[in-house]
Chains A and B, each alone.
Chain A
């Protein structure tokens, strides 16, 4: 079964990416995590995302069009990326989520993916 690991990072984590002193350690943690997923043979995909400030959000309501700067919701933690992994059970997927660097700073959501639509 495939699970999405949705990474919600606090603003302080996004700031680390731009901090010349601390960025290497930040990226090293993610790189190590991605490596562990790959070497364990469970990695199925995923992507890191740029900071929420780079986002734009679109809503169409009847004949009204709304486009706004920023992410869809202004929450304390925001989507910073995701992985798609193969796990035998929700429990196994949760164990991988706990190893995610953002689990200690933000929140990591685990969700089973839907079967292929086609």
Chain B
């Protein structure tokens, strides 16, 4: 029994550490991700029966790979396999599987997952499932999606890759920047999955933050001369460094401006700064480098002194000029409010299209804050309520409603109506 447990432990370890590498190698040639997943799943099951009996193989990953490849190639002739017998198949695998030294095709797999032909909403889930082996239910929850719908989305994406014959290859030089941006975009989406705040404030981190950091690290190691993967790492590490400071001892939400910078992780900030330096040394500021510079400017408060809001506004100007997303524009308006006063921030918010902001939580949170600072409590009370109604984070809701209750007496409306 303990031997079985040891084997199971070894299998789980091998699976976690090597799943993406094994799967990438298996499907890089066949382009059939679903078949490769099935074969790898079967190989893991075989390991569960054979490893406890025969002891751990010298090269567990290669054993799994060879077994999975045999299962894959023998799929069409299942009957022959059955006749040959499982034992012979496994012996063949052991003869071939002498070392764990096989090519790492995970980068090619990531490029296929974020291929322009793949639905943008499927890219991140596909990466999480194929490279990290996460199951559809976990991915669905992180993205606030029904598991059945997420499963269908993944199946469709894999069918598309197989049927369209998408190449498992690192893009050519001229295509690389755009294709790499799509890969990094999908990784960053995992970092903030299911959160309202995509405003670039870097405050939100989903339950998949560790997974996103792993993927960014992988791309940075496999494409070491590219600037943007290092920048994405820097951006996410800065956000991670502030995690502990986002809640006080009672679990209440603490906004970035009010955070005690002594609670920010110094080792993570140092790692983030080192990654940003690597990014800057490798190329001009791309999208993620600009975002990482923003985070670095916020983190500079840890060294003492005030947040450099004027510099932050300048970086947001560059970001908004490149990609005028509603998130970037709202964050820019909030920074303007800090740098030049609430009226400047409110003017920037007023320029946004109401259709894009009416259900966008960061807009209402920023609006409420600026209205309160501008001495317009009636409107601020209204905006705080909308911001509170749009958040899915109970600590943020409580914070916004407390701010609303703290407005001058005449505008408080705590005896709110019952839900109708």
A28/B414 contact (C-beta < 8 A), A94-B145, A99-B392 known: yes
Within 8 Å by CB of A29, from B145, B386, B397, lies: B397
CB neighbours of B254 from chain A (8 A): none
Contacts of A51 in B (CB 8 A): none
Interface residues of A in 25-41 (CB under 8 A from B): 25, 27-37, 39-41
Does the CB pair B394–A101 fall under 8 Å? yes
Query: Contacts A29-B401, A31-B385 given: A98-B144 contact, CB under 8 Å?
Result: yes
Which residue from chain A places its CB closest to the CB of B194 in the assembled complex? A98
B405 to chain A, nearest CB (A): 7
CA gap between A47 and B419 in the complex, in Å: 7
Q: Are A25 and B389 in contact (CB under 8 A)?
A: no
Question: Does A10 make an interface contact (CB < 8 A)?
Answer: no
A104 within 8 A of B: yes
Mark interface residues in B383-417 (1 if CB within 8 Å of A CB, else 0).
00110111110100110110011000000001111
Tell me if A99 and B391 are in contact (CB < 8 A).
yes
Q: Nearest-CB distance from A101 to chain B (Å)?
A: 7
A27 closest partner in B (C-beta)? B416
| Cβ A34 vs Cβ B358 within 8 A | no
- Whether the Cβ atoms of B386 and A34 lie closer than 8 Å is no
Kindly list chain A residues whose C-beta atoms are within 8 Å of the C-beta of B420.
34, 46-48
Query: Do residues B144 and A95 form an inter-chain contact, with CB atoms below 8 A?
Result: yes
Cβ of B222: which chain A residues have Cβ within 8 Å of it?
Answer: none
| Contact with A32, one of B144, B145, B389, B392 (Cβ below 8 angstroms) | B389
Interface bracket on A: 20 to 34
Q: Is A55 an interface residue (CB 8 A)?
A: no
Chain A residues, Cβ within 8 Å of B414: 24, 28
Q: How far is the CA of A24 from the CA of B415 in the complex (A)?
A: 6
On whether A40 and B359 interact (CB within 8 A), knowing A29-B401, A35-B385, the answer reads yes
- B358 and A39 contacting across the interface, CB-CB below 8 Å: yes
List A contacts of B417 (CB < 8 A). Answer: 27, 31, 34
State whether the Cβ of A52 lies closer than 8 Å to any Cβ in chain B: no
Name the residue of chain A whose CB is nearest to the CB of B145: A91
Chief secondary structure at chain A's binding surface: helix
Asked if B146 is at the interface (CB within 8 A of a chain A CB), the reply is: yes
Q: Find out whether the CB atom of B149 lies under 8 angstroms from the CB atom of A91.
A: yes
Interface residues as binary, B353-388 with A (CB distance below 8 Å gives 1, 0 otherwise): 000001100000000000000000000000001101
Interface centre among A32, A81, A99, A105 (most CB of B within 10 A): A32
- Answer yes or no: B418 CB below 8 A from chain A CBs: yes
Number of interface residues of B (CB under 8 A): 28
Find chain B residues with CB under 8 A from A83 CB: 419
Number of A-B residue pairs at CB separation under 8 A? 91
Do residues B386 and A90 form an inter-chain contact, with CB atoms below 8 A? no
Cα distance A81–B418 in the bound complex, in angstroms: 10
1/0 contact string of B120-142 vs chain A (CB within 8 Å): 00000000000000000000000
CB contacts (< 8 Å) of B398 on chain A: these are: 25
Q: CA of A29 to CA of B417 in the docked complex: distance in angstroms?
A: 10
Chain A residues whose CB sits within 8 angstroms of the CB of B405 once the complex forms: 24, 28
Q: Give the docked Cα–Cα distance between A90 and B358 (Å).
A: 20
> A56 — which chain B residues lie within 8 A by C-beta?
none
Residues of B within 8 A of A81 (CB): 419
- Which of A31, A39, A104 is close to B394, meaning CB atoms less than 8 Å apart? A104
Question: Using a CB-CB cutoff of 8 Å, which residues 2-30 of chain A contact chain B?
Answer: 24-25, 27-30
Q: B146, B388, B389, B397: which has the most chain A beta carbons within 10 Å?
A: B389
Cα A30 to Cα B394 with chains together (Å): 12
CB <8 Å contact, B391 and A25? no
Is A32 touching B386 in the complex (CB atoms < 8 A)?
yes
**Closest A residue by C-beta to B121:** A91
Within 8 A of B (CB), among A64-104: 81, 83, 90-91, 94-95, 98-99, 101, 103-104
C-alpha gap A37/B420 in the complex (Å): 11
Chain A residues in 8 Å Cβ range of B359: 36, 40, 42
A34 to B394, CA, bound (A): 16
- Assess the A32–B415 pair: CB atoms within 8 A: no
Decide if A32 touches B401 in the complex (CB within 8 Å). Answer: yes
Could you list 7 examples of A-B contacts with CB < 8 Å? A24-B414, A32-B386, A33-B419, A41-B358, A94-B145, A95-B144, A103-B392
- Given A31-B419, A46-B420, A81-B419: 6 more A-B contacts, CB < 8 Å: A31-B385, A35-B389, A36-B385, A40-B359, A91-B146, A95-B144
Give 3 closest A-B pairs by Cβ, nearest first: A36-B389, A31-B416, A32-B389
